[in-house]
Amino acid sequence: MDTESSPALELRDKLALAGNSLDSDVIELDRGAPEKPAPPQPGLRKRSKTFWLTLVTLVLSSFMVILETNIIGTAAPTIADDLKISQFLWIGNTYFLASTVLMPLCGGLAEIFGRRPVMLVSLAIFAVGGAVSGAANGEGMFFTGRIIMGLGAGGVLTMSSVIVSDMVSLKERGLYNGLLGLAWCAALGVGPVVGGAFAERGHWRWMFYMNVPFAGVAAALVVLLVKLPTPKGSLRSKIERIDWIGNAIILGSSTAIVIALTWGGVQYAWSSYQVLVPLILGLAGLAGFMVYEAFGAKYPLVPLILVSNRTSLSGYLQALVLTMPLAGMLGYLPVYYQACKLASPIASGVDTFGLAFTVAPFSIITGVIITITKRYRPPIWLGWSLLMLGQGLLSTVKADTSRATSIGYQVLIGSGIGLVFTSAYFPILSPLPVSANAAALSFYLFLRTFGQIWGFAIGGTILQNRLTQHLPAEFYDEFPAGVAVAYAAIPRIAGLGEPLRGQVQNAFADALVVVWRAHLIMGAIGLACSLAMRGLPLHDQTDERWDAEHENRA
């Protein structure tokens, strides 16, 4: 008899559906029994042509969006210089913010209108944002395009994850998530180089224009290949099920927090009201959102069941923390190589291969391991340990440290991030019924993307503040007040004479050391959060309402 079909676990799901805390029940059921691999199972279920066509479509769609996320780092200094963008943090944060705030809504809309309509609308929005960003004639138009792209990207990533969860049980999902991870592998690897190539040749606008035909192809594949059911009901009844109040709260709160993080220490002092007011309001708003979702929402975006047990809560916190160092590394490693090694945008992309070509492969390997062993805690603990070791070593890097040494440290960090990246949602989903998949994964992706905002903003704030304090005065005084010197300074470094050039490069390296130490602290927090999760069995059910291969599919 399968472990996952035992009466004890059936009781767990019933209690979960009732919204009760799972902790006492799970602890009682598992007390005295250490985590053990599940009994040997038959081979993986044979999959239909429909399944594989759907999976290929999701991989291609995810690749397009992930490439856009990773292409911007090496090109950001060039874009900021061409469009005279004074606040460089908004180049990344507008995109991350927009893709984050509507992720919970996408999960709700998918339950109401169906997966495929939400996916198609998201692809269309992404294409429009690409066209606007590419045609931008100033920072206002550029940021507008980035916001539109982010909205579409959030929908595409959410739907890709939800559709995979509809088709594959948690027990088998590690393997298929590994296949979906191929999109991450390719995008993380080629993104920085492609971005650098476009920027170096003065064609950065095509970084955004190319998404228009890509999104069109992806949409055509969704229409032709992705056959999923559509919920019945009138349009009015469906609209009434949307949590408008919850969406408004989370949109306003998230925006306020991002404004505070972007302005803090760069445009205004951290103690100023311009930073404190939006930060306090934003954090209070997020707390109010959770209270409203638990007690006031008729159709909550984030049902209380999702965070009512310590294992799921641990997974959510890990997802939030993990993407902070990942976003910081992708955003500021190119800064190190361009400023300290005088690397071109293309070369700085190549120099990040140590990170790019370890995160995704280790994510794939981890998915396969979990599929075989049915255990998710060991790779998570190993991943956090490797991340901390790598960040500690990276914090010793100076301006004159060899490239090989710094790239070797990247390999350790990327391996650690990859081990946790795929594993983190297993503790989230293992205590929950499959009917909660859409809401659980939407909230998971929301926190993961929200962590990217914090990681990029924290790293940028540290970098800007340290450079302000330690750059030579004769160099720093060349820049107008309020300008984000971290990006504005890079194009000028190569033309400086010695010893000024060496002093500027040392200032950049020393500032980035503080960023890497902040990442080390984040890793320690993530490891501490992981200690709270229990090792639970992985269920083998799927939600038949959404299974594209189910014989009664609508």
Q: Does 168 share its domain with 264?
A: no
What is the C-alpha to C-alpha distance for residues 468 and 471, in angstroms, rounded to an integer?
6
Q: What are phi and psi of 332, to 5 degrees?
A: -120, -10
Flag whether 478 is in a domain: yes
Q: Does 267 share its domain with 304?
A: no
The pLDDT of residue 525:
95
The pLDDT of residue 124:
93
The pLDDT of residue 317:
94
Flag whether 122 is in a domain: yes
Of 298, 323, 344, the position where a domain reaches its end is 298
Out of 17-21, 143-147, 185-189, least confident range: 17-21
Calculate mean pLDDT across residues 372-380.
Answer: 90
The pLDDT of residue 255:
82
Q: Examine the pLDDT at 14 and tell me if it is beyond 50.
A: no
Domain residue limits at 261: 243-298
Q: Does 314 share its domain with 365?
A: yes
Q: Examine the pLDDT at 22 and tell me if it is beyond 60.
A: no
The pLDDT of residue 3:
39
Q: Does 292 share its domain with 308?
A: no
Instruction: Look at 490 and 386; give whichever has higher pLDDT.
Output: 386
The pLDDT of residue 353:
81
Q: How many domains does the chain have?
A: 2
Q: Does 276 share its domain with 418?
A: no
Q: Does 262 share its domain with 320?
A: no
The pLDDT of residue 481:
60
Two tokens, residue 7: 């009466």
Flag whether 160 is in a domain: yes
Mean per-residue pLDDT over the chain, rounded:
79
Q: Examine the pLDDT at 284 and tell me if it is beyond 90.
A: yes
pLDDT digits (tens, 9 = 90+) for 417-454: 989 987 888 899 888 887 787 788 888 888 888 888 78
Calculate mean pLDDT across residues 223-249.
Answer: 77
The pLDDT of residue 543:
59
The pLDDT of residue 18:
39
What is the C-alpha to C-alpha distance for residues 147 and 119, in angstroms, rounded to an integer?
18
Calculate mean pLDDT across residues 229-254.
Answer: 78
Q: Does 217 share its domain with 249?
A: no
pLDDT digits (tens, 9 = 90+) for 199-222: 777 788 888 888 899 899 888 988
pLDDT digits (tens, 9 = 90+) for 386-428: 999 999 999 999 999 999 999 999 999 999 998 998 788 889 9
The pLDDT of residue 320:
92
Q: What is the DSSP letter of 458?
A: H
The pLDDT > 70 percentage for the chain reads 85
In contact, 450 and 103? CB cutoff 8 Å: no
* CATH number for 64: 1.20.1250.20
Flag whether 17 is in a domain: no
Matching residue, tokens 């948690």: 170
What is the C-alpha to C-alpha distance for residues 65 and 69, in angstroms, rounded to an integer?
7
Two tokens, residue 23: 């902790």
pLDDT digits (tens, 9 = 90+) for 158-199: 888 888 877 777 777 776 776 676 677 677 767 777 887 887
Tell me the sheet residues that pair with 424.
none
Flag whether 214 is in a domain: yes
Q: Examine the pLDDT at 105 and tell me if it is beyond 70.
A: yes
pLDDT digits (tens, 9 = 90+) for 108-131: 787 778 888 889 999 999 999 999
Q: Does 254 share its domain with 156?
A: no
In contact, 553 and 17? CB cutoff 8 Å: no
pLDDT digits (tens, 9 = 90+) for 361-375: 888 888 888 888 888
pLDDT grade for 5, boundaries at 50, 70 and 90: very low
- Of the candidates 296, 313, 264, 259, the residue with the CA atom closest to the CA atom of residue 443: 313
Here the contacts of 54-58 (C-beta below 8 Å, separation 24 or greater) are 54/163, 54/167, 54/225, 54/226, 54/227, 54/548, 55/164, 55/167, 55/176, 55/179, 55/180, 56/221, 56/225, 57/218, 57/221, 57/222, 57/225, 57/226, 58/160, 58/163, 58/164, 58/180
Q: Does 415 share its domain with 294?
A: no
In contact, 70 and 183? CB cutoff 8 Å: no
The pLDDT of residue 94:
79
Calculate mean pLDDT across residues 314-342.
Answer: 90
Flag whether 131 is in a domain: yes
The pLDDT of residue 416:
93
Q: Does 143 share its domain with 254?
A: no
pLDDT grade for 463, boundaries at 50, 70 and 90: confident
The pLDDT of residue 15:
37
Q: Does 118 share its domain with 261?
A: no
Question: Distance between alpha carbon 423 and the CA centroid of its chain, in Å?
Answer: 14
Instruction: Look at 68 and 47; give whichever has higher pLDDT.
Output: 68
In contact, 380 and 526? CB cutoff 8 Å: no
pLDDT grade for 34, boundaries at 50, 70 and 90: very low
pLDDT grade for 32, boundaries at 50, 70 and 90: very low
The pLDDT > 90 percentage for the chain reads 20
Q: Does 138 share its domain with 272?
A: no
Flag whether 535 is in a domain: no
The pLDDT of residue 181:
67
Q: Examine the pLDDT at 510 and tell me if it is beyond 90.
A: yes
